[in-house]
């Protein structure tokens, strides 16, 4: 038992030391290379939780829409720019996923508004099963099986969501 505790303590110390050295290197490296080599970063988030109760994604056997909200769903953006002005965007979404059409629409809007090319954008979803049906993603499991009023809720939310994501 004492051996396990020692090994655990040693692993914790080693991990902490590694994090400390990595953080120090990350923070001091730009200064060592000169002022022009610094990277810039910006981050933002926006709540994307639907205002109305909708059908939830990821459960093919569902028989009804959501009956409440426990937590917010978020879209988060991280933009990095290197010393030459090249930028990249990591966009994370608390959703089960999005389809190609919505992904392309978001990327086209980002290109139009911010000049970002598709290869500068990474869209990542958390694959949560606690979020709404997202357009036609997984359509055979959800969108095609819900009634017209629910489809309209999905369509309206996706239109709003897309604008929120591009604005973040």
Q: Exposed, middle or buried, 91 (CB in 10 Å: 0-12/13-18/19+)?
A: buried
pLDDT of residue 32: 54
pLDDT of residue 141: 63
Residues 27 and 110 in one domain: no
Residues 10 and 48 in one domain: no
Range of the domain at 120: 39-167
Query: Which helix (H) or strand (E) element contains residue 81?
Result: strand 74-81
Residues 93 and 151 in one domain: yes
Q: What is the Cα–Cα distance from 155 to 12, expressed in whole angstroms?
A: 48
Please give the average pLDDT of every successive group of 10 residues along the chain, which has 168 residues.
Answer: 44 48 53 69 95 82 84 95 94 92 95 96 92 73 76 88 90
pLDDT of residue 19: 56
């Amino acid at each position: 038992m004492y051996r396990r505790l020692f090994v655990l303590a040693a692993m914790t110390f080693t991990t902490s030391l590694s994090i400390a050295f990595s953080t120090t290197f990350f923070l001091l490296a730009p200064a060592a290379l000169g002022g022009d080599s610094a990277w810039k970063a910006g981050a933002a988030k926006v709540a994307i939780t639907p205002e109305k109760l909708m059908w939830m994604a990821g459960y093919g056997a569902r028989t009804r829409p959501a009956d409440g909200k426990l937590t917010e769903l978020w879209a988060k953006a991280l933009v990095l720019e290197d010393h030459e002005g090249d930028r990249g965007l990591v966009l994370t979404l608390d959703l089960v996923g999005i389809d190609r059409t919505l992904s392309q629409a978001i990327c086209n809007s980002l290109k139009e508004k911010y000049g970002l090319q598709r290869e500068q954008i990474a869209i990542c979803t958390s694959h949560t099963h606690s979020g709404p049906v997202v357009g036609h993603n997984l359509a055979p499991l959800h969108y095609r099986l819900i009634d017209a009023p629910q489809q309209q809720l999905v369509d309206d939310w996706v239109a709003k969501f897309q604008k929120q994501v591009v604005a973040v």
